[in-house]
Every structure is written in structure tokens, then in C-alpha cells.
Chains A and B, each alone.
Chain A
Amino acid sequence: TPAMAETYNLGRAALPAEMKAWTVEVFPDGKNLPEGSGSVEDGENLFADKCAACHGDFAEGVDNWPKLAGGADTLARKDPVKTVGSYFPYLSTVWDYAHRSMPFGDAQTMTVDETYAIVAYILYSNDLVDDDFVLSKENFLDVKMPNADGFIVDDRPETEYPLFSKAACMSDCKKDVHITMKATVLNVTPDQGGDD
């Protein structure tokens, strides 16, 4: 047990202001969410300013940049479209990630109210709220995320490990060996002349 271990008296006490500056992550139950609010309407303008160049005017994504909206009911398809609306289980993650790490290249520049507004606009883009919606600390947990129940805890110990822990075949394991797929058909490997 870790109790009563030797300590070295190294380091110093963390000050409240220091802990406050760095402890900004938001939990699924809303813990650490700051006071504040923002509307879809404000969010639309902010999004156009700060986000749309990569994520598109409607959060639909530009080129290879992440789509934040759309993809409803695609998760069981051949090519699922995973967005805030179709995939994210918790709204806390959207708020936390946007507030801490976006915009890409200029992170930690959005105020608390701006973050609420941007998140409200992303919800609107996913048809999860109306255009007059205002997101706040108070109603944050009322928003229903469509894929909230879409996740299971790693079940490999039950579904895979017993199956893959049997003695392996060593000889005459299969009769027919033929090629079913080749990488060169796609030809998407970079040229390796050394200048790439």
C-alpha cells in the first residue's frame, strides 16, 4: 500500500491561484464548469470568425479538417461520420476541449462566455437545439447527447483473450492460400526518394 511511504521534502506547496490556472478540465457531471452563458446567435458570429475557416460555416468541415456536425446514425455504416452530434458522449468534452485547445494555433484565447456560445452553435449545427437557445452552466446537463449510451468499457478480456489464447496451429493449418488484397493497387504510399 502507498500509505506511510518515505517522502523527500522536495517541491513546494501549490498555490490556489496556480491550481486554478491549470485545473480547467470539465467533467461529464459538469464539475469545474465556470459560471457563464452564450447564445446560438453569438456563437454563429464567433464561429464564423474563429472556426469556420477549417470547420466550415455550418461546422460541416473543410477538406480534411474535422467535421463537427452531421453523421447522425452512421456509426454502424462502412464509413461512419463521427462528429459532436453523432459520436461525442458528453457535452463537457466539447466545452473543455474547445476552451483549452481551440482555435487550432491560437488556443486558450476564448473567454468562458465565448466558449458557451460556440458550443451552443455547434449544438445548433447538429440540430440538437433551436436557434434561440442559450447554453449556460445551469442548463448544461439538460442537453441530450445522441450517442451518450454508445460506449462500452474495453471488453477484450471477455470477447477476445480467451479466443486468442489457445494453442496455435503449426502445420497444415489451411489448404488454400491466395492473395485477397494488394497495397500496390491503391498506390498511395509516398515516394521514398528521400526528398519527402
Chain B
Amino acid sequence: MDEKERHATPATGTGYSRRGFLRAGAAAGAMAAGAGAARADQQPDPLITEVQSWAQGWGDGVDATPYGLPIEFESDVIRRNVGWLTADVISSINFTPIHALDGTITPTGCAFERHHSGAIELKKEDYRLMINGLVDKPLVFTYEDLERFPRENRTYFLECAANSGMEWAGAQLNGAQFTQGMIHNMQYSGIPLRTLLEEAGITNLGDQIKDKWVYVEGADASSNGRSIPLEKALDDCLVAIKANGEALRKEHGYPVRLVVPGWEGNMWVKWLRRIEVTDEAVQSREETSKYTDTLADGTSRKWTWVMDAKSVVTSPSPQMPIKHGKGPLVITGMAWSGRGAITKVDVSIDGGANWQEARLAEPGVDKAMSRFYLDIDWDGSEMFLQSRATDATGYVQPTKDALRAIRGENSVYHNNGIQTWWVKENGESENVEVSS
């Protein structure tokens, strides 16, 4: 790459110093120039021929790390925030480093956060859950009570309604972490919300369940109150007390949060304190002023609960440049749908002109993340990388232009349009949009 181009490109390869990255790039270039021949001329590798310190002395004792963090060399795999997106960091968002992750389970320590009045500290001893409203017997539970109900384990993605929202009017942020990183995927252990509602008794409702709602709110100052149709509450919602095997992180709702599979993250109320059965929607701030989607004619959709099928190539991507030159290249990414399992992901390297079916690492799981791979032999030419998810309903992820044709550019939420990465000959990538 020439000097000018290098400086015009934003920071990449975050675990490396600038100099280190350039050196690595130069080495890769040299190797690409004469791969096979170079190998024969090589000096023996001192990492092999010389005894290394770690092969001689001691590592850390088992008492060194009662609860461990990732090794320091992975220090770029962290949440990041974007200062200009919100007025302050208390009612704000940060982003999961999806570019650097693999598989489907999001490590809880770097799984994104979205708070409206900060991440509160709520002890189990101080925790109370109330169920009231149109129930036979309004109840108060302690945390210990919740632990005594039969539990289920389920894995689901949680995607913020605003994920990719900054990209409605065009390519803006440079990296999958920023453009698609308001998402995490965890295994939850919890009590079906249905079990708790039945404990309070809803027999008085008879067959009127279809017309009823639950209003759910958190213990924090923002409360984040939302209305959910009772049918959904009785279907697959969970009152979660564990995620990925351990207690919820403080920032994810410790000690109890609501899990609303397939539906926009805002409804997954954290620090859940109350569930009220009502006969109308509250039409709270979070379902009128926010989480409503304005269309081109100025009217707005409300109650857009489901997150539609979506995918993104996580590597290569702007934060994950190709450093190894031509030859075998793993293209990988993730796909998910709020309407069912992912059944297929197609990948294009030419901006959507031609598509190949990628390989799903495991069969798709209902309303959970899928990992896909496409292994190619990269010839070093530029690519316009795209991925396109299909879910169990037959819905195919649309292009951004197809969405804009229906909604305009002011929806804010629910942008599940196809992402394009322009992979340049030097291996760096950039967030772009291409002609449709």
C-alpha cells in the first residue's frame, strides 16, 4: 500500500502498535511474493531450536487467579463506545467486539451494554419481584423464592433495536463491532415467565388471554417499562437468573432479567422488579417516543417487536485486515433471526452479483446465533464481501436499499440490511455501500 492510502485508512489491527502492524504487513508481502521458495532458504526457527523460558521455568500457580481475565495479548477484544452517539455515558450504548469472536456464545465480560440510567448494583438480599394486576393473587418473590421454581436452559441472541441504526443513511462507522455489535448471545438459566404468572393465577382471565398484556419494569431509575402481549409472556419468555453458567453480570441485570426471545433488546428488562397483567398497553416512553420506527411519510410503526433475519461477515472486516497474503482465507460471520432458526447463509465476494452457500458450523437454533464459514483461496484481488441470511420462515435478509425503498431513512431501529466490506488488495477492509 502506498503511504497516502495508509494514512487515509482508519486504525486497524488494534492489538498491534502502528509500527508492529506495518512490519507484519511487510512480512506478509514478502511471503506472498515467493512463498514456497522462501521456505527452503529459511534459517531454523529459534522459537523451535532454542529452549524458551516457558519450556524451562514455572508458569503461574493455581492460586494466582481465582477468577481470570483474558490473557493480556487479547486486550483489543473489549467493549467500545462511541462518544458522539449519545449525550452522556449513563444513558448510552457500547459494542461487543464481534469482529474478534468466533463460535456463537458471547463472553459475558465483553457482551455489550445498554443502560438508560446506568448499571445499578442490586444485591440478591434487596431484590424483590412483584406480580400484580389482573391476577388471582398478587405476589412478592424474593431471589431465594425464584431459585426454587423449576428451571430451563435456553440460548438466545439479544439484539438492540438500534443495532446498525447509525447506518440507515449510509456507511458511517468503520468496523463490525460498531455497525453490528449491539448484540450478544448467551445461554440463560431461568424460570419460564409462564410459571410465575400461573403461580399468581390467571384463571380469572378465562379465554381473554389474547387481549391482555403484561407491563414489565426494572428496579433502576429509568424503569425501562414495556408492554408485552400476554400471549408472548406465556409462550417463551424467561425470568433469567444465570447467563453462560454464572450469575448475570451487574451490567446485564444482576440478579434477575427478563429474556424475550427473538424480540428487540429493549424489552429484555434488566433488574426486573415488577410484572403487571393489564388489559391495555401502557404505551410507555420506551414504546412511543423510543422504539417506534418513523417511515418516509412521517407516520411511525409502533410495537415492532421482532428482530428480523440478519447476518454480518465478522472477518475479514475493517478491524480484521487480512495479514497473511494470498491463498487460503477463512471468511466467517454470524447470522440470527427473531423468527426462527437460521437455515442458510449465502456469501458474495463480488458485491452481490454472485453468491455461494456458506457452511453453518452447527444446525441453526431457534432465535439464537449461528456461525458460518466460507473457505476460499484468495487471489489477492479486491472483494466486496456480503452475507445474506435465510431463516426457517423462508425470509431472506434484504439489502439496505430494499429496506429504504419501503421505510425511508428515518426508521432509526431495525436495520437488518446486508453489510458490504470492501476488501482491498492490501488486505484492509472498509465499510462501504455498493450499487444494487
Which A residues are closer than 8 A to B by beta carbons?
Answer: 1-8, 10-15, 18-19, 22-23, 25-29, 31, 54, 63-66, 75-76, 78-80, 82, 87-90, 92-93, 96-97, 100-101, 104-105, 107-108, 150-156, 159-161, 163-166, 168-184, 186-194, 196
Please tell me which one of the listed residues A78, A82, A154, A163 contacts residue B303 in the complex, with CB atoms under 8 A apart. A154
- B252-293 contact mask (Cβ, 8 Å, vs A): 1 or 0: 000000000000000000000110101010111100110010
The answer, among A10, A25, A183, for a CB contact under 8 Å with B172, is A183
- Chain A residues in 8 Å Cβ range of B175: 189, 192
B93-128 vs A, Cβ < 8 Å mask (1 yes, 0 no): 000000000000000000000001100000000000
* Chain B residue at minimum C-beta to C-beta distance from A31: B280
Whether a CB of chain A sits under 8 angstroms from the CB of B299 is yes
* B34-42, B58-66, B325-333, B392-400: which lies at the interface: B392-400
B87 touches A177 (CB 8 A): no
Q: With A97-B285, A178-B434 as given contacts, are A184 and B145 in contact (CB-CB < 8 Å)?
A: no
Residues from chain B with Cβ under 8 Å of A23 in the complex: 132-133, 274, 276
Q: How far is the CB of A147 from chain B (nearest CB, A)?
A: 8
Structural contact, A22 and B130, CB atoms closer than 8 A: yes
Q: Tell me the bound Cα distance from A100 to B78 in angstroms.
A: 34
- In the assembled complex, 26 residue pairs joining A and B whose CB atoms fall closer than 8 Å, in A order, are A3-B202, A6-B198, A7-B201, A12-B140, A14-B138, A15-B140, A19-B132, A26-B282, A64-B84, A82-B294, A88-B288, A96-B285, A101-B285, A154-B306, A163-B406, A164-B398, A165-B395, A173-B354, A177-B384, A177-B435, A180-B433, A180-B434, A181-B170, A182-B422, A188-B172, A194-B75
Residues in A with CB closer than 8 Å to B340 are none
**In the complex the two chains form, what is the Cα distance from A18 to B195 in whole Å?**
22
Other than the known A107-B222, A151-B288, what 8 A-B pairs have Cβ atoms closer than 8 Å? A2-B234, A10-B141, A13-B137, A13-B139, A25-B215, A154-B301, A173-B354, A179-B432
Instruction: Name the contact of B409 in the complex, choosing from A22, A78, A100, A175 (C-beta under 8 A).
Output: A78
Q: How far is the CB of A66 from chain B (nearest CB, A)?
A: 8
B80's partner among A22, A108, A190 (CB-CB below 8 A) is A190
The dominant DSSP class at the B interface is loop
B284 touches A97 (CB 8 A): yes
Tell me whether A186 and B221 are in contact (CB under 8 A). Answer: no
Q: How far is it, in angstroms, between the C-alpha of A80 and the C-alpha of B301 when the chains are bound?
A: 15
B residues sitting closer than 8 Å to A (CB atoms) are 8-11, 14, 75-76, 78, 80-84, 86-87, 90-91, 116-117, 130-133, 137-142, 145, 148-149, 170-175, 178, 194-195, 197-203, 206-207, 209, 215, 217, 221-223, 225, 234, 273-274, 276, 278, 280, 282-285, 288-289, 292, 294, 296-306, 308, 318-319, 346, 350-355, 384, 388, 390, 393-398, 402, 406, 409-410, 422, 430-436
Query: Inside 8 A of A15's CB, which chain B residues have their CB?
Result: 140
Q: Would you give the shortest CB distance from B223 to chain A, in whole angstroms?
A: 6
Q: In the complex, A29→B415 CA distance in Å?
A: 33
Look across to chain A and name the residue whose beta carbon is closest to the beta carbon of B170. Answer: A181
Q: Is the CB of B198 within 8 A of A7?
A: yes
A76 CA to B173 CA, complexed, in Å = 25
Q: In the bound complex, how far is the Cα of B414 from the Cα of A159, in angstroms?
A: 15
Kindly list chain A residues whose C-beta atoms are within 8 Å of the C-beta of B430: 182-184
A170 contacts B289, CB within 8 Å?
A: no
- B130 contacts A14, CB within 8 Å? yes
* Complex Cα spacing A79 to B319, Å: 30
With A90-B288, A150-B298, A154-B302 known to touch, is A180 a contact of B274 (CB < 8 Å)? no
Across the interface, A107 reaches (CB within 8 A) one of B200, B221, B276, B292, namely B221
Chain B residue at minimal CB-CB distance from A6: B198
Do B299 and A152 touch (CB < 8 A)?
A: yes
Whether A2 lies near B130 (C-beta < 8 A) is: no
Task: Report the minimum CB–CB distance from A187 to chain B (whole Å).
Answer: 7
- Can you name the residue of chain A whose Cβ is closest to the Cβ of B75? A194
Q: Taking A11-B140, A12-B139 as contacts, is the C-beta distance between A76 and B303 under 8 angstroms?
A: no
Give min CB distance, A65 to chain B, whole Å.
5
* Interchain CB contact (< 8 A) of A93 among B202, B284, B300, B355: B284
A18 near B301: Cβ-Cβ < 8 Å: no
Q: Which of A29, A90, A174 contacts B435 (CB 8 A)?
A: A174
The smallest C-beta distance from A140 to any residue of chain B, in angstroms, reads 15
Tell me which of A2, A175, A196 contacts B202 (CB under 8 A): A2
Q: Is the CB of A183 within 8 A of B14?
A: no
Do B203 and A177 have beta carbons less than 8 Å apart?
Answer: no
- Contact assessment for B289 and A88 in the assembled complex, using a CB-CB cutoff below 8 Å: yes
| Cβ–Cβ < 8 Å partners of A186 in chain B | 171-172
Closest-CB distance, A77 to chain B (whole angstroms): 8
